[in-house]
Chains A and B, each alone.
Chain A
Amino acid sequence: MKKEIGSFVVGDSTKCTGCKACEVACFTVHNRKSNHVGNTVGTVTVPVTPRLFLTRFDQGCMPIQCKHCEDAPCLNACSKGAISRIDHQVIVDAEKCIGCKDCMQACPFGAIALLPYAKDGRLVAQPMSEEPKVFASKCDLCAGIEGGPACVRVCPHQALRLVDPEAEREEKNIRAAESLLLTKDWR
């Protein structure tokens, strides 16, 4: 029964209006505890660091985020062991990350960004330097956050979907099997 694979969120460019509610929600839920971010702008004292990226292209826009690959190039590229698979998802340990950018280059989706690392409402400085510490920021499917991925919940146009790939595959299988009833006498 050990066939489980990671879930992921995908955007739908036919529904997305580019409002960035997903990015804001993502930042908010990930920084509530660690940086005391509340429901209003006034509570934000640190840079806004989303883990998914609203992307505009010639024909429209949509958020792009991590697919939690099953042979994840980012994970394999990380020399520091800062990226690992936890409960089937690909998770970055921000504390361990040294900002080498290998994962960014390895990721075929551009789903990772180097963003400033903050704690307790304040940027964390690098040791021996004035510059803030950065970390590889990417979707963690809101691990440990109640209610599941915030982006999916807040999107006003239902342009984001949490995919359980194996369950969806089985459902699509059933539809495909049913359609075979219509084509069985193809000759």
Chain B
Amino acid sequence: MGIPEIEDAGCLLCFGYNGADSHPIVARRIVRGKQKGMKIICADPRVTETARISDIHLQLKGGSNLALVNAMANVIWNEGLADTRFIEEHTKGFDEFLKVIEKYTPEYAEPITHIPADEIRRAARMYATTKPAMILYGMGVCQFTQAVDVVKGLANLALMTGNFGGPSMGIGPVRGQNNVQGACDMGALPNSYPGYQNVTVPEIREKFEKAWGVPLSDQVGCPITHVPHRILHEKDEKKRIHAYYIFGEDPAQSDPDLAEVREALDKCDFVVMQDIYMNKTGLYADVILPATAWGENEGIYTCADRGFQRVRKLIEPEGDMRPDWKIIADISTAMGYPMNYRNTEEIWNEMIDLCPSFTGATYEKIEKYGGVQWPCRDKSMEDRGTPYLHKDGIFATKDHKALFYGTDWHPPVELENDQYPMTLSTVREVGHYSVRTMTGNCRTLRNLEDEPGWVQMNTQDCEKMRLKKGELVKILSKRGYCITRCLPTDRVKPGATYMTYQWWIGACNELTTAKLDPISNTPEYKYCACRVEKIQDQEWAERHVRELYDDIRAQMGIDTGKGAEA
């Protein structure tokens, strides 16, 4: 499925995905779909813009995703709404799956999800009976310790209703970052070479060793979220990390439990930061390598629908910045492995020849067709790629069958308690991209939202604590605290709080937990216990926030003549 197909779906199940804030251009497709008569089921603990225009809003309790998904599967099966022929012909493991979901009746899920059983039934019926039905999921699924299980759970729903392998159906991850699909495609993962070729498979390793002329490790590498532990607590001297090369990433802002991240960056012997602007990680770097930004360099991005797209240079970079690929090539050369690429196409050609599923995606073809969706195996212009990975239910697995995979729901790791009675989930803000290394430097956006950001809280909770809109509050968890502004809203449920993660002062990752999903190694950003405290002396707090901001700007060498008019 591709993004443009969203608007032609009969039914959209939008799960833990807030398009309006994460990807307004995708949200546009959802709005258009609605205008064309598409039914929308939105599963989100907040009233998002999609929830607002949805036919059914499943306002579930945070951290209950799998209970809801399994209950929907339970209804679809028990009410005879499953596509038994599709299950029979194209899938495996359905009986085992049934055993798992047997107990997940809507009545069983109701106290876990806080959604009335009949509402779950209504949603399951709408999803199963409206064709074609598409699923979009976002970070509201992925940023939990039980994340991969929920993705599989959503895939189960699509499988049991035969919603795979055609236009406007299937299950679409709407990725957290621009080109995160491309980064994964290119092997920026601890376990694979480009093209999802596993590092532990000897033939694959040998292929790359031969191509590159160096011996390669057969061990899976270290995921980013394990790095602090490997620096701080690794007993085995050989496994301890001493040098950390970070580019296009700001772990001192974006990673959970920032106090631990800072300690790790502090203790790490050597930190290299390669980015387009100064950021929080840069404060801990021994070496800073200035890179060019989009518009100043060219290359290829992959869209969420596996489509390779060319990005082009608009302007010549000024000063001593260089494109990432040139910096890497120079460092490699200096370290004794010469890389003499003349342009990105040479790198691309080397890569596609080593990756069977990308081999046909030449620059020429991408240029001619505007984009090519992998797999594209043949260089001839006739092979235009693969719009549907599992076309007509012929799955891209060895036996062409899809596998049902059922798991039981478990609660998030850190639950509300007496000391920290509320929950915190980190979210996005439409005006700022990710950690705002880029957008934080757009002066006009600063006028729309500025430090120290907001904590969204239910109006009842605010009234209880006598908190007004815009008032500075302290928000704390077991790991740390920060100061931010209170935003009372009826779009969130009582007991829950939400913060966007890009602010330096209102840095919600001071609070988040570094507990990970065991498979994806993604942290549980969407759930931890917290407490909100009223600050009596607002004048002091305003001054304090301004001082903190000025201090960070001074450390970063940003013009300090004029502080933030918070």
Where the two chains meet, the residues of A that have a C-beta atom closer than 8 Å to any C-beta of B are 1-2
Contact = CB atoms under 8 A, between A and B. Distances in A.
Contacts of A1: 470, 566
B565 interface: yes
A50 to B, nearest CB: 34
Nearest to A2: B565
The A contact surface, by secondary structure, is loop
A1 B452 CA distance: 11
3 contacts: A1-B470, A1-B566, A2-B565
A129 B566 CA distance: 53
Interface string B553-566: 00000000000011
Contacts of B470: 1
Give the bracket for the number of chain B residues in contact with chain A: under 10
Contacts of B565: 2
Contacts of A2: 565
Nearest to A170: B469
Contacts of B566: 1
A2 B470 CA distance: 11
Interface in B512-566: 565-566
A1 B471 CA distance: 10
Nearest to A1: B470
B543 to A, nearest CB: 13
The 3 A-B pairs at the shortest CB distance, nearest first, are namely A1-B470, A2-B565, A1-B566
A169 to B, nearest CB: 14
Nearest to B485: A1
B530 to A, nearest CB: 24
A2 B566 CA distance: 8
Nearest to B542: A1
Nearest to B450: A1
Interface in B221-242: none
A21 B566 CA distance: 44
A1 B565 CA distance: 8
A87 to B, nearest CB: 13
A139 B407 CA distance: 71
A136 B470 CA distance: 37
A2 B542 CA distance: 12
A1 B486 CA distance: 13
A1 B468 CA distance: 13
B419 to A, nearest CB: 31
A164 to B, nearest CB: 13
A184 to B, nearest CB: 12
Interface in B462-501: 470
A65 to B, nearest CB: 28
Interface string B253-290: 00000000000000000000000000000000000000
B450 to A, nearest CB: 9
Nearest to B471: A1
A1 B566 CA distance: 7
A22 to B, nearest CB: 30
A6 B166 CA distance: 61
A2 to B, nearest CB: 7
B245 to A, nearest CB: 40
A2 B447 CA distance: 12
Nearest to B472: A1
Interface string B113-136: 000000000000000000000000
A26 to B, nearest CB: 30
A82 to B, nearest CB: 28
A1 B538 CA distance: 13
B364 to A, nearest CB: 47
A1 to B, nearest CB: 6
B16 to A, nearest CB: 27
Nearest to B470: A1
A53 B143 CA distance: 64
A1 B469 CA distance: 11
A136 B96 CA distance: 88
A72 to B, nearest CB: 24
